[in-house]
Amino acid sequence: MSNINIILFFLGLILFLSVLASSLARFGPPLLLIFLVCGMLAGSEGIGHIQFDSVPLAFFIANLALAVILLDGGLRTSLETFRVALRPALSLATVGVLVSASLAGAFIALVLHVDWRYGLLLGSIVASTDAAAVFSQLRSSGVTLNQRVSATLEIESGTNDPMAIFLVTYLMSAIGQSKGLDITNVGEELVRQFGIGAIGGVALGYALSWLASRLPLVEGLYALLIASGGVMAFTAINQLGGSGFLGIYLLGVVVGNRRNEATEHVFRVMDGLAWLAQAGMFLVLGLLVNPSQLWADAAPAFLIALFLIFVARPAAVWLSLLPFHFPIREQGFIAWVGLRGAVPIVLSLFPLMINLEGGQFLFDLTFAVVLVSLLIQGTSLGAMARLLKLQVPEAPLPTETFDLEGERDDQFQIMAFRIEADSTLANTAGEALTRYDHLRVIAVTRGSRLRFPRRGFVYAVGDKLYLLAARSHCSDLGRLFRGDTGHDGVAPGRFFGPFTLAGRAPSGELADVYGIPLSEDERRTDVAHLMRKRLRRRPVAGDIVELGPLRLIVRRLDAGTIDQVGLQLAPDPSLER
């Protein structure tokens, strides 16, 4: 083999073995931790003995990978998510990062006996959560969280980089010039970072979406168009002095929510690109570190990680979410999911890039803190959600969806659902489907055979039905095909209770039936408005309001308004407020 073939072979082998090792993630270890460890094993002190110490190359690869990961995360973020969680997420991304960095910096300076500027610099490096880690762990945790919690975490991780990058670059400048902090230009710099990033991301997102909808391309090229356009936007926004990370995330949000026949192809490809970016980035970062140095820094890194997990992050979350009336259980979980990943490691490369004194120490310590965070927090995400009773029934989504070519009003879609054991549709001729307007059963797969059902055809458990139906029927159809089961999660009937009320049901009548004391104003309103008033926050599915002997649980929303309410006559001990 020539040298180039040997290099390519080992690169392919490392990635191949890392992907195979990812199957271990279902047993606890975070996938990103597996990639990091594989990179370390392939490095100069591992079994691979690969000599890699190019900080500029690692920095380039990491930035490109983070751009792709944030683009993919933005594509999968709905505008409804923004309406639910934008304000609390931005508070966490700004105030939260500042509080966490300040507390961690003071602790580091005290414990490590270093200059306070170095303490604040390391605190700022490890202060922000990482989009790659959060997106990956939330998807693979095996639990379904309520929309307010999951949306807050995802938007925070996608938008908190500007504050962290600003703090790191500003503190490096202060250290390099041996001067104190001058806060007079802090506000101006933050406005520039957030302003240019937000405006550039949204504007370029609309432009790229418009272009993709009008270019007749081969199906596989649409994803490359969006990815390459996103990377160009990322670099252009950075060059203008804004936050490219924020810009490319918002670009993805715009493109993902302006759905058309072009963007449907993008979703099928971008997930693979994002996984490749994550794997490549963590493998390269793993190659860059020396395990022996990690062991030498283990004790201080462990102390810093524990302080971040149990003091700095909870304090930052509590202060940031104080105006938004988050329940204490939700605050606790958001504090726990302050995952550190690639972003802190990339930020720790900044001092190395400018040969800052102590830069290698900062990098080694940051890497060790990230490993501890992934080990403690990343492995316990699902268990913590269940402990805090934040798991809600999984949304009954189709197994597959297909948009109609040329259909632009987003009304109809081809959906595939599988009949499960608890579905009332099993062993019937499909009478339950007749209540949906304009629904057509196109085909049925039973085992390896394709069927075209006619009158009198009896459906069986395991049948997969391909339906032409309105998008608005998606959730109801999902519940019909799934039945009252939560699979590995929470059963809907047990979670929401045995009874269902319409959100427009009069509160006064409910109070009279169950003898619940309400004020005159509350009696004159409906159940939806009563719950909204009692919650004091934007409702999401799973929110609970207790009225005397009743427990009302938000079951379904329509355009942000409570549409259906679950009712339990006696509180279920498994659902604590």
The CATH classification number of 492-568 equals: 3.30.465.10
Taking only the tens of pLDDT, the chain with its 577 residues reads 556 776 677 667 766 766 675 565 555 556 677 778 878 887 777 777 778 878 888 889 888 988 988 898 888 888 888 888 889 999 999 999 999 999 999 999 998 888 888 899 999 999 888 766 676 676 666 678 888 998 898 888 888 888 888 888 888 877 866 555 555 666 777 788 889 999 999 999 999 988 888 888 877 788 888 999 999 999 999 999 888 989 999 999 999 888 666 666 677 788 778 878 877 888 888 888 878 777 777 889 899 999 999 999 999 999 999 999 899 999 999 999 888 877 888 889 989 888 888 888 888 899 888 888 888 888 888 888 888 888 887 767 788 877 775 544 457 888 999 998 888 888 898 888 888 888 999 999 998 889 998 888 999 999 999 999 888 788 788 888 887 654 445 667 678 888 888 999 999 988 888 888 888 888 999 999 999 999 988 898 889 998 888 899 998 888 788 988 998 876 555 544 4
d(CA 45, CA 233): 38
| Tens of pLDDT, residues 92-123 | 999 999 999 999 999 999 988 888 888 999 99
Within 13 A of 124's CA, how many CA atoms are on the CB side? 23
Residue 505 contacts by C-beta under 8 Å, 6 or more apart in sequence? 526, 527, 565
Which overall architecture, per CATH, does domain 51-387 show? Up-down Bundle (1.20)
| pLDDT score, position 186 | 67
User: Do 201 and 256 touch, CB atoms closer than 8 A?
Assistant: no
Q: Which two tokens stand for residue 346?
A: 């990339």
* Residues in a beta bridge with 566: 500, 553
d(CA 89, CA 82): 9
Helix (H), strand (E) at residue 534: helix 527-535
| pLDDT score, position 266 | 78
> Comparing C-alpha atoms, which of 265, 250, 264, 270 is closest to residue 204?
250
d(CA 52, CA 35): 16
Enumerate the domain spans of the chain.
Answer: 51-387, 400-482, 492-568
Q: Which residue has the tokens 């304009």?
A: 438
> Comparing C-alpha atoms, which of 306, 312, 302, 300 is closest to residue 361?
300
| pLDDT score, position 256 | 87
Burial 96-125 (b: 16+ CB within 10 A, else e): bbbbbbbbbbbbbbeebebeebbbbbbbbb
Give how far Cα 289 sits from Cα of 12, 349, 388, 500, Å.
20, 11, 36, 56
The whole-model pTM stands at 0.81
d(CA 336, CA 314): 8
CA pseudo-torsion sign 424, 427, 431, 437 = positive
Helix (H), strand (E) at residue 499: strand 499-502
576 three-state secondary structure: coil
d(CA 464, CA 316): 47
| pLDDT score, position 342 | 78
8-state DSSP, 28: S
Phi, then psi, of 439 in degrees rounded to 5:
-90, 135
- Give me the helices (H) in 30-115, please: 31-42, 55-75, 79-91, 97-112
Give how far Cα 141 sits from Cα of 20, 452, 491, Å.
19, 38, 18
Q: Which residue has the tokens 């700095």?
A: 312
Query: What value, to the nearest 5°, has the Cα angle with vertex 254 and ends 73 and 402?
Result: 75
Fold of 400-482: Alpha-Beta Plaits (3.30.70)
Residues 64/66/69/71 CA torsion (nearest 10 deg): -70
Q: Which two tokens stand for residue 232?
A: 């160009």
Give how far Cα 258 sits from Cα of 30, 112, 207, 309, 410, Å.
32, 50, 11, 38, 10
